[in-house]
Structure 1
């Protein structure tokens, strides 16, 4: 752990959004031919990664990432060092699904301990219904995408690390003008450029997490809540009817 720089900023929290997960594609003679040397029983190529939301650089706060794969895979513990402007990526091939432990190592200036995330590698289409699985089979060029959105929270960071977190930084892919475009840099009251933790307004190819996605999920949750409340009301009515009938039967039995 690096020496503490300055003091912690009490009552201050800084968060940075990022994405982690896997993308898999079955081998196919035309669309995804199997490379030479790949074992015969391997059916898919797949990638596990950690990257910034909207491809914004993360290496100013994330130093390296350790991917712990299944023990049957040679050299199953892999360490990926950060390269400015690039995602933390690991490419592999295989035939089975398993849980991947993803350990995040922060830059020395943070004085933060490593944190571990867990992600299940998906090679085959998945979903709650067959319809959802079929949609996954026919979209994204046959890729099986299993991504998760996360927010890294730094609670009461040290002064020196706070300066690193809030200093100016350009995104890896400059935003384009037009509908849904937004600045990746914001200015503080003092006019100093700060790193933005803002989430894109709308989805675009390769970026499925945005305010648009958030609103869709909120709508689904509201619809689910309405269904649950309706089911609870119906269940309550049925219980009350049965309790009433039970009392009637008891009363009739007492008279007899």
Structure 2
């Protein structure tokens, strides 16, 4: 029964990435489809954050099945069987289509974890990124020359107070560390427009430096919000003082 005792005060996380890669179909490929209006082939996935050496995909160095039982992808309702349950790695779905839409992703953990499933959304990205992030759809011939479009998000799944048995499972499968420095293009993120150029030229890879930079951006944004809040609080205090002064003058 000791295995079902939660280890209080312990938090352990597992880094993941989720997102999609999309490529433009050639006219020959489109002619072979049952839906010839489809213009792209795309893959949406949940993977470990680190990439395997010389890999041609984003992330995926580690097998996540020791803590993930199932990943459910809910596609647009126009797809046959839009709810896709993936019960073993790779946790991904490959399809063809012509439009972008939001994909609902649900991660169900292994029963021994005692953890509730988590859900989130990913916006399927088919068209090349721009600095403004406003959609600009180039002609298919031009988009084909530009290569695959990557849209990936780094995240960490945190397990607080895990059961003893599950904690041992996690400790037995340490995640592959992210590279400390940039070896490949970096994933573009709309919150960091400056990364657009650095994202070009191949399959992107998350790095420890990116994680640090993201933490710094979040901290800077937090401090900016605090400063703005303090500014408006001081303005409000001054206005209230002026109001009280006017009230006293009217009472005379």
Q: Shorter-chain-normalised TM-score: which range?
A: 0.5 to 0.7
User: How far has the Cα of 1:38 moved from its partner?
Assistant: 3.5
In structure 2, the partner of 1:107 is 110
Q: Tell me the equivalent position of 1:10.
A: 8
- 2:206 is aligned with 1:209: yes
Residue 69 of structure 2 is aligned to residue 63 of structure 1: yes
Inter-partner Cα distance in structure 1 for 2:62 and 2:146: 25
Change (3 A) 1:207 1:57: farther
CA contact (8 A) 1:16 1:197 kept: no
Q: Distance in 2 between matches of 1:209 and 1:218?
A: 14
**Partner of 1:163 in structure 2?**
168
Deviation at 1:59, TM superposition (A): 1.1
CA deviation after TM superposition for structure 1 residue 196, in Å: 3.7
Gaps of 5+ in 1: 170-194, 237-256
- 1:124 is matched with which residue? 127
Shift of 1:17: 0.1
1:93 matched residue in structure 2: 96
How many residue pairs get aligned? The number is 197
**Structure 1 pair 64/215, CA: closer, same or farther in 2 (3 Å)?**
same
Superimposed CA distance per residue, residues 85-137 of structure 1 (whole angstroms, 9 cap, x where no aligned partner): xx311100011111000000111110111111110001112334389979xx8
Structure 1 runs, 4 residues or longer, greater than 4 Å off: 130-134, 137-141, 215-226
For residues 145 and 217 of structure 2, what CA distance do their matches in structure 1 show?
23
Q: Structure 1 length normalisation: TM-score? A: 0.65
Counterparts in 2 of 1:141-180, with a 5 A limit? 142-167=147-172, 169=173
1:131–1:90 Cα change, 3 Å: closer
1:36 aligns with 32
Question: Relative to 1, partners in 2 of residues 1:126 and 1:155: Cα closer, same or farther, differing over 3 Å?
Answer: same
Q: Is the 8 A contact 1:42 1:95 kept in 2?
A: yes
* Bigger Rg, structure 1 or 2: 1
Is the contact between residue 70 and residue 87 of structure 2 (CA under 8 Å) also seen in structure 1? yes
Partners in 1 of 2:66 and 2:145 — Cα distance? 31
Change (3 A) 1:76 1:6: same
Deviation, 1:28, is 2.1
Taking structure 2 as the reference length, the TM-score comes to 0.66
Aligned-CA RMSD value? 3.6
